[in-house]
Structure 1
Amino acid sequence: MGRYYIGFDCGTQSTKTAIYSEDTTCVAEEMIPTNINYPKAGWAEMDADHYLESVRKGIKACLTKSGIDPKDVRAICGDGIICGIVGVNEDGKAITPYIPYLDSRTAQDAKWINENLEPIWIEESGNASVAPFYPPLLARWLIKNHEEFKQSGVKIMNNGPYVLSRLANLKAKDAFIDWATLSGWLIGYKAEEKVWSKEQMNLLEIPMELLPKIVKPWDIVGTLSEEEASLTGLPAGIPIVAGAGDTMQSNLGCGLVETGMAADVAGTAAMFTIMVDGINLELSKNSDLLFSIGTLPDTYFYWGYIRTGGLSLRWFRDNICGREGDNSFYDEIQELAQKVSVGSNGTLFFPYLQGGGGDLENASGCFLNMTTKTDQGEMWRAILESIAYEYLSLVNSLRENGISVDKIIITEGGSKSNLWNQIKADVLEANVFTLKRKEGAVMSNIALAAYAVGDIKDLKDAISKWIEARDTFTPNIQNTKNYQNIFAIQQKLLKENMKDAFLSLAKLNQ
């Protein structure tokens, strides 16, 4: 008889479910692709119940693969996307699409808020301005525009807590959000107190009764229901643990437990994070970095993102190269890109496939400076470099505010590319590390599950012991100099020349 734990990660491109033993060995895993619908330009919608069904299938598949006794499963814990919401009815069931961070339908609302409302969220939430993908703006849209939610909407939830709630058959009155996922809302809460802000929500015209209760990531929120037990192959009564947001769990899974540690979560939305000891008002006011709460007590971090970072790579594979679903493409294209020189022979890419934000609200994805010699390898490298340039803007903001960035841990799918890792080391002028264990958020969910039921006594210590470096990439001084020159040109184009072009191009999408 052993002890086992189930973790799942409801991400943008897939839902991953895994079973781990008490010695942290992954005994089985299953990955099921997601579906993203784009009903209008700038809109993105998903199905919250598809996540639920994927977790059900994932659990059942993992039980079959592992051959373990289902009675030996001690707890279930999962994470979801921090920036995205779904509306539920009184029974706790989804009645709206799940709207993820890829959506830009609230662009005009975001602009109006930034221009007309006092940004009282700076000191409480640590974020100075708002952007279209912020969950409170998506909530405002549902409240004003979604007819069924107007009639029978009771709570607004993130996708991870939604799946966990359904596994436990919780009604809307018991809807929850952990404090880490809470901070994925970016405004509307008090970060240090970890509570909703009535003043902010009143200003945003979001009724407090629509908001779920706030819990700790390791709180047991319920137990597996009889119905879900029959659908998954597990016995009823297994503890369901609250979990945390995907970004926070990825940070934890790559060992970010101390102030000053930095990570690149190279997933669908490429994210750069650095642990800090609290809100830095100057950084919040004068940079594009966002402030959030970590999974562990009294941990905080600033992060920046490229909404279509990893998605740009998938888009290029599927839509441009016609290799949809073919993962062998990545190895082939990497080999071609490896032969291309620093700077992609002058080809630039702007990764704004789902629009931009702030001063670049009209931005769109595009390649520049191509010739008849430009091939797929050159274009691929240009995409990789474009995302590294986005990171450099964020890192420069940190360095300008006295925060050192010289060591970066890279995790998630993007860490598999040695070429991309070296590009980041060169562009960011920092040592880059990959890890022996790549489970990321799912492994953190397993740790939370074990901690919740008392099988782990010290969560921080346990995570630290699991993390070991694999490969190190050091910056090439000449490459760094070349990239700095290219970056200066790229930024001038982006902030001066391209503004009018993006504005004109946006009119073609109307």
Structure 2
Amino acid sequence: MKTEKKYILSLDLGTQGTKAALLDLDGNVITCGFSENLFSESDGGEITLSAEKLLAGVLASTKAVLEGRPDAAAGIAAVGVVGMMAGIVGIGDGWEALTPYDSGLDKRCETAIRRMQQMGENKVIELCGSPIIVAQGAKMYWWKMNHPEVFARVKKFVPASTYVCGCMAGLKAEDAYIDYTHIHLTCFADVEHNVWSGELLKLFDFPEEKLPKIVAPYDVIGCVTREWADSSGLREGTPIVAGCGDTAASSLGAGLVRKNMVLDVAGTASVLTACVSEYRPDTEKKILICPRSIIPGLWTPFGFVLGGETMSWYFDQINYDGSYSFGELARAAAGVENEGLFFLPYFAGRICPSEAGFSGHWLGLKFYHGREHMFKSIMESIAYEYKFYLQRIHELFPELEIREVLTGAGGARSQEFTQVKADVLGMPFVPLKQKDTSHKAAAIIAGYGVGIYSDMSEMALKMSKKYYGDRVFPEGQKTERYSAQYGKYLDIVGYMSELHRKFVL
């Protein structure tokens, strides 16, 4: 008798769009689909995606996958969902969306951030592991401050991945959940003990009944309903696991599952993440965010800046006629040196540490500087931010022995960008030549949740190591020069921070 081939369906809900992928049990992507997410923007700073558009993208990408392999639906053992993390959806009793999903670039909650910071940010960092940033906690509090009538109607606030899973499984508000890779962004959690913090809820006078239960990413939360099966082509009764946030997924999919490992996620956000075995929040300098790893017992402190977003913005501005490629610009930038030219990559505010009113700057521009010099300065600024984060990681975890950095996502395919980061940090970078770390993570948690895999760490290493590329080593003379430049960069950031506090906020 022929054994039915097994698959896992992964859904990656991103800012640019929703990607669906069908993976075999070895983590190989068999076929995939994509549907663009078109966020709405307004002059008032609103950047939102309606729940209807979010679900339409999920259905369209899922159908694209199953149309490519119509025989696969019966073999899908589970569905895993990875979601963008900063925004939130307010739902009613029947899981209907009462608010749109708001982007991490939607900064209307800045007033809420400032009020919450005054009320007790140190306690939030101590218990929640994160400063108060443009993310779930401040956004929920913003609804409470500015739209009390909507806030009163909302039964639960949930992240994007939870909202989609709930729609697929036919959940009600009483079933609402949030997985533990998201809770550091809520401002109301005791992340070390994996519970909602009565102390923080009291501090901000926030009702606990608006918050969902906390679960593990691999917990099975329900099964595909007949209605969703009819709409998507999935098989009714297919198990759905809780899912996780995209940052956590990138770490797991890249194999960041052992102490002393460090990962550069060179995507829309440039994220430098370490893997540690103890929870040590950055209460003093408020630079690092310290969430749980998907792997129980591990933590992944990180800092991030919108590096890829900034490089893409610059490329779009100067390449309006489409006359050359991103690679050509990067190669031209690699051939120049930037003595005295600095860039601050804070177009959406500074995040680590949180200074929402900060903005982007070039300093030191001369007539002889060209587009390649300006692009080089953007790459260098991201590397300087990474060095800043890495120094703080060493301060908080002096026992770590970090010898190299894994680098993944789109930016890892740029030899020139990777070389700049290696030179500034003074250590080798190991490119991961795969584009689908989030899909692999979704497959791992889904497979673990239904008993296909017995060890998530081993599967992550097995799936990622075969994609290791050639190490990019630092060039000693450049590392020495960048060490001096880095000190100047930090001074400039400090001076500009003071100017922003005085004249902009």
TM over 0.5: yes
State TM-score, norm by structure 2. 0.92
Q: Structure 1: which amino acid aligns with 2:151? A: K
- Post-superposition offset of 1:319: 4.2
> Partner of 2:405: helix, strand, or coil?
strand
Could you tell me which residue of structure 2 aligns to residue 434 of structure 1? Answer: 431
Matched residue, 2:392: 397
Aligned partner of 1:288 in structure 2 is 287
Is 1:57 the equivalent of 2:60? Answer: yes
Name the counterpart of 1:180.
Answer: 181
Q: Quick one: structure 1 residues 145 and 119, their matched pair in 2 at CA, closer, same or farther if it must change by over 3 Å?
A: same
The answer (yes or no) to whether the contact 2:334–2:416 under 8 Å persists in 1 is yes
CA distance in 2, matches of 1:147, 1:206: 12
* Residues 155-166 of structure 1 mapped to structure 2, 5 A cutoff: 155-166=156-167
> Is the CA contact 1:429–1:475 (under 8 Å) kept in the aligned structure 2?
yes
Given the alignment, which residue of 5, 27, 31 partners 1:2? 5
Over aligned residue pairs, what C-alpha RMSD do you find? 2.3
Shift of 1:385: 1.2
> Alpha-carbon deviations, 1:170-226, whole Å to 9, x = none?
1222111111122343x3112222111122122122211111111111111111122
Percent of pairs with identical residues = 29
Q: 2:127 aligns with which of 111, 124, 127?
A: 124
2:332 maps to 1:331: no
Q: Return closer, same or farther for 1:200/1:322 CA change in 2, 3 Å cut-off.
A: same
2:431 match: secondary structure: strand
Residue in 1 that maps onto 2:223: 223
Give 1:46's aligned amino acid: L
Question: 2 CA distance for matches of 1:319 and 1:394?
Answer: 29
Instruction: Identify the residue that residue 109 of structure 1 maps to in structure 2.
Output: 112
Cα drift, residue 481 of structure 1? 1.2
Correspondence for 1:493: 492
C-alpha displacement of 1:159: 0.7
* Counterpart in the other structure of 2:310: 312
Alignment: residue pair count? 497
Q: Deviations over 1:252-288 (max 9, x none)?
A: 111111122111111212111111122225x442350
- Equivalent of 2:450 in 449, 453, 462: 453
> More displaced, 216-225 or 374-383?
374-383
Query: How far apart are the structure 2 equivalents of 1:69 and 1:18?
Result: 12
SS at match of 2:181: helix
Structure 1 residues 363 and 168: CA distance shift in structure 2, 3 A: same
Counterparts of 2:79 and 2:288, CA distance in 1: 33
Q: What letter matches 1:392 in structure 2?
A: K
Q: Hey, what's the Cα distance between the residues in 2 that align with 1:372 and 1:124?
A: 50
What residue in structure 1 maps to residue 379 of structure 2?
A: 384
Instruction: For 1:317 and 1:38, locate their aligned partners in 2 and report how far apart those are by CA, in whole Å.
Output: 22
2 CA distance for matches of 1:126 and 1:498? 23
- Alignment match, 1:444: 441
Matched, 1:417 2:414: yes
Indicate if the aligned counterparts of 1:104 and 1:355 stay in contact, CA closer than 8 A. no
Displacement after TM superposition at 1:35 (Å): 2.8
Distance in 2, matches of 1:198 and 1:245, equals 24
2:147 is matched with 146
Indicate whether 1:355 and 2:331 are aligned. no
Q: Secondary structure at the match of 2:445?
A: helix
Distance 1:327 1:450, change over 3 A: farther
Q: CA–CA distance in 1 between the matches of 2:106 and 2:193?
A: 29
Give 2:20's match in structure 1, choosing from 5, 17, 22. Answer: 17
> Is the 8 Å Cα contact of residues 34 and 64 (structure 2) preserved in structure 1?
no
Question: Are residue 34 (structure 1) and residue 37 (structure 2) matched?
Answer: yes
Distance 1:250 1:497, change over 3 A: closer
TM-aligned CA distance change 1:399 to 1:24, over 3 Å? closer
Indicate the SS of the match to 2:47. Answer: coil
Describe the shift of the 1:28–1:125 C-alpha distance in structure 2 as closer, same or farther (beyond 3 A). same
> Take 1:327 and 1:55, find their aligned partners in 2: how far apart are those partners?
35
Unaligned runs of 5+ in 1: none
Equivalent residue letter for 1:104:
K
What is the distance in 2 between the residues matched to 1:35 and 1:377?
A: 31
Distance of 1:287 and 1:404 partners within structure 2: 23
Q: What corresponds to 2:471 in structure 1?
A: 472
- What TM-score do the two structures reach when normalised by structure 1? 0.91
Pairwise CA distance, 1:142: 1.1
Which of 44, 47, 70 lines up with 2:47 in the alignment? 44
Change (3 A) 1:405 1:218: same
Q: Give 1:112 deviation, angstroms.
A: 3.0
The residue aligned with 1:239 is 239
Q: Which residue identity is paired with 2:404? A: K
Name the SS for the 1:471 alignment partner: coil
Q: Deviations over 1:70-106 (max 9, x none)?
A: 2111111111122221211222122212123223323
Describe the superposition over 1:462-482 as per-residue Cα deviations: whole angstroms up to 9, x where unpaired. 212122121211111111111
Amino acid at match of 1:312: T
Paired with 2:340 and 2:370, the residues of 1 have a C-alpha distance of 12
Whole-angstrom distance in 2 between the partners of 1:457 and 1:55: 29
State the shift of 1:148 in Å: 5.8
